[in-house]
Amino acid sequence: MYVCLLETASAIGTVGLTLGMTPGLGSLSRLVLIGLMFFGRVGGLTLIFAALSGVKKTGPKLPQEKITVG
């Protein structure tokens, strides 16, 4: 159990530590570790902001100012 915890913490932290368990894992487990490595490298907040930010296509805004005369 602690070996799995070290592998996942190492993947999220992108530190490269291992106890040699990774070559014995199945394909799905390796894909999960790859996803955790990507998530750790890019960062959680970056992925959340990228997923939740809506791209608004608006035209250029011209500056507006009220000019007082007199």
Question: Tens of pLDDT along 17-44?
Answer: 888 888 888 999 999 999 999 888 888 8
pLDDT reading at 14 higher than 90 = no
Residue 17 lies in a domain: yes
Distance in Å from the first CA to the final CA of the chain: 80
Residue 67 lies in a domain: no
pLDDT reading at 53 higher than 80 = no
Residue whose C-alpha is closest to residue 39's, from 14, 22, 6: 14
Count of structural domains, the chain: 1
Residue 63 lies in a domain: no
Residue 39 lies in a domain: yes
Residue 69 lies in a domain: no
Q: Mention every residue, 6+ apart, whose C-beta is less than 8 A from residue 8.
A: 33, 36
| Residue 59 or 19, more confident | 19
Structural domain including 48 reads: 2-52
Q: What is the pLDDT of residues 2-11, one digit of tens each?
A: 888 888 888 8
Residue whose C-alpha is closest to residue 39's, from 18, 19, 9: 9
Entry pTM: 0.63
Residue 48 lies in a domain: yes
